[in-house]
Amino acid sequence: MEDLVESILDYVRADYTDYAIMINGEWGSGKTYFWNNKIKNKIESLQLNGRQYTTIYMSLYGISNLEEISKKIFIETTQLMDKNLKKYMISHNQTTIPEYAKTGLDMANFFGVTQNGDRMDYEDFFSTDDKILCFDDLERANVDVIDILGYINNFVEHDHIKTIIICNEKELSTKLKSSNLEMKTFIATYLLDKQGDLEKAADKPIVEKIRDKIEYVFDKANDYERIKEKLIGETFEYAPEFNYIINGLLMRYESYEDLIRFLRENTGLIVSTFNKSGTRNLRILKHALNDFKKIFDMVNKNYPNTNNRVLQTMLIFTIAVSFEIKAGKITKDKFVNIKDNEEYKSILVSSRVLLTDNRQFYIKEFDNNYYYNFKAEYRFFKFIEIYVRTRIFDMKVFKDNMEVIINTIDTAKLPAYKRLLTEEYWKISDDQFDGVIEEVIEYVKNGSIELIDIVKLFAYFNYFIKKGLISYDMKTIKSIFFNGMNISSLKSKYCDNVEEELSSVTIGEVNSDMEEILKHFNQLNIQLKDKMYIEKAEEIFKCIPIKMELFYERFDKECMDIPIFKYYDVFQTFQRLSCASNDDIVTIKEKLVNRAKKYQKEIEPEMKNIRQLKQLIDDYTRSKDITIKITMLKELSKDLGYILDQYKTPVWNKE
């Protein structure tokens, strides 16, 4: 990002330019924020050849004629001409004129007299070498883009004013093609009919003929490219630093102590949900966080002891539903008829058995996407869905939802370790705290909870010992947790999203004790990974040679980018392959070669077993008479040799 900032400043510093530059990026990705917070101040702080630059920013959103742009430029520069206005702005620490205030400025200023009778400073007015123009939202103007660029070209080519254009070229391209589409279609159809091409033999569909004729007659895209080539010297692709910008979004809630603490603790969830939305639209995220403020306030006001895990799920759901609806990914009715969490869960269950409509497909995809690796009993909040969709906060639905949540997720009935992991520890009363600690220790000793949860719990105990909240010494606690982890690893599952899981624990710092626990966890987790893959390999390879269709399906979906041959006995692999049909041997051979080309680095750990498999095939075929089966096995061995040869000089090590 700093490289982009410096490139823009290089353009500003240049002694002479006869071109503008463009910043291109998706809607809502933070381009305007980037201008206001990264570029504007740096430009205005430049001192070059004894002059200080002034930026003049204007959004073209909704502009319907070129005269409006002229008025906007005039009003933006009024602060340079009217001494009283400038004095007022300085005294009120105001750097720009609010939009509503601009409408009240008297355009009579243009004729040389201000409202206060002062004369205009024409020297400032005619000076152009200290001004930087910035035009934003080019694609949102209601004026022909070609006309706007021609207008801007006057400043650039004739006055040599440094000019920056901010836009979304992807939307601009769509707009150029879709403007006045009905009129274009009518004219294209008329021309095709007059030329006799409409009724000709169907060498191509009529729709394609009309589209081609529209592009030929109304080739605005080429007009745009021609004037862009003349006007724009450089186009910079804006790739936002989302973590930096999201942190900026959170800063607006600094005055709300409880909310900002919760949001800071769950920044990982916010970023993760944002990424899962598949968009780069920070504007929607900003609105979603604002909606969540209302939700957070109402929950804390009416149900102050709400489980922290429920609040985390509400945060995810608010952001997820906002993106799904506001990014135009779905129609609003996908959620309308789901009345509560129970119906939501029943749709998920039924969708695994029989998918009878598009809604079931959608809800399952929604749940798999946004709640992947996030365990929560209550995942659908009707009052939030209504609020996001209609902007109405329905108090009756809110209370109905919350009563169900309170009755089904009762903190008093939760195991102690879950209380510690799902609610803020300070919400546990003093008279309950010691009992919770002792109960958690018993769970850890028995290894009766997931391995990753034991690591999370140690982070709390590490913090409690440091703060003097518990009387145990660190040596004793570490011994208990190490032993508990060993027992837990015998029945726990491999955790493939360690970083995301641990991001939910924001208490304390990672010290040497925590590092020891993490190191031991990683060793055990690798063993669990091996165990998982051994079980997977057994399930998949036992399909050879009887259930080949199932083998192909699972191998393609689950084994292409993992070294699955590492986890299955080589001799059994050979026996199963030798019993497969000739056709299946050929298919497997082709799959292995294609897989090695695509995932060479990922499957490298299985090469020891591949080498042994090749040796077994060679030993077996060497003493056999030539048959089709023997020939196919030899071809398989040959291709296994080709795969092994790739690791003499791995692709990922080549320059």
Comparing 190-194, 223-227, 576-580, 613-617, the range with the smallest average pLDDT is 190-194
Residue 396 shares a structural domain with residue 248: yes
pLDDT at residue number 93: 63
> Does 316 have pLDDT greater than 90?
yes
Residue 627 shares a structural domain with residue 603: yes
Comparing 68-72, 187-191, 532-536, 556-560, the range with the smallest average pLDDT is 187-191
Whether the bond between 563 and the residue before it is cis, its omega within 30 degrees of 0, is no
Residue 394 shares a structural domain with residue 255: yes
Share of the chain above pLDDT 70, in %: 78
Residue 494 lies in a domain: yes
Number of domains in the chain: 4
User: What pLDDT digit, counting tens, does each position of 345-375 carry?
Assistant: 878 765 444 444 566 778 888 988 999 878 7
User: What pLDDT digit, counting tens, does each position of 476-507 carry?
Assistant: 999 999 999 999 999 999 998 888 778 767 67
Residue 595 shares a structural domain with residue 548: yes
Residue 214 lies in a domain: no
Mean pLDDT of the chain: 82
- Burial label, 108 (beta-carbon count in 10 A; 0-12, 13-18, 19+): exposed
Q: In terms of pLDDT, which residue wins out, 125 or 175?
A: 175
Element (H, E) at 101: helix 99-102
CA distance 72 to 103: 10
Residue 599 lies in a domain: yes
Supply the range of the domain harboring residue 59.
2-175
Residue 114 lies in a domain: yes
**518, 548 Cβ separation under 8 angstroms:** no
Last residue of one domain, picked from the residues 346, 374, 409 = 409
**489, 451 Cβ separation under 8 angstroms:** yes
Last residue of one domain, picked from the residues 175, 208, 230 = 175
Residue 311 lies in a domain: yes
Of 507, 616, 629, nearest to 580 by C-alpha is 629
Residue 195 lies in a domain: no
Comparing 189-198, 390-399, 542-551, 614-623, the range with the smallest average pLDDT is 189-198
CA distance 250 to 243: 11
Share of the chain above pLDDT 90, in %: 41
Instruction: Report CA dihedral (394, 397, 398, 402) to the nearest 10 degrees.
Output: 180
Residue 335 lies in a domain: yes
CA distance 479 to 557: 41
CA distance 555 to 561: 10
pLDDT at residue number 629: 93
pLDDT at residue number 121: 47
Residue 380 shares a structural domain with residue 517: no
Confidence of residue 312 (pLDDT cuts 50, 70, 90): very high
Last residue of one domain, picked from the residues 409, 438, 453 = 409
**12, 53 Cβ separation under 8 angstroms:** yes
Confidence of residue 159 (pLDDT cuts 50, 70, 90): confident
pLDDT at residue number 87: 64
What average pLDDT does this structure show over 384-394? 93
User: What pLDDT digit, counting tens, does each position of 61-110 carry?
Assistant: 888 888 877 877 776 665 444 556 666 666 666 555 554 344 444 443 44
Tokens encoding 556: 């393609």
Tokens encoding 75: 């009003």
pLDDT at residue number 41: 87
> Does 51 have pLDDT greater than 60?
yes
CA distance 79 to 85: 6
- How much is the pTM? 0.51
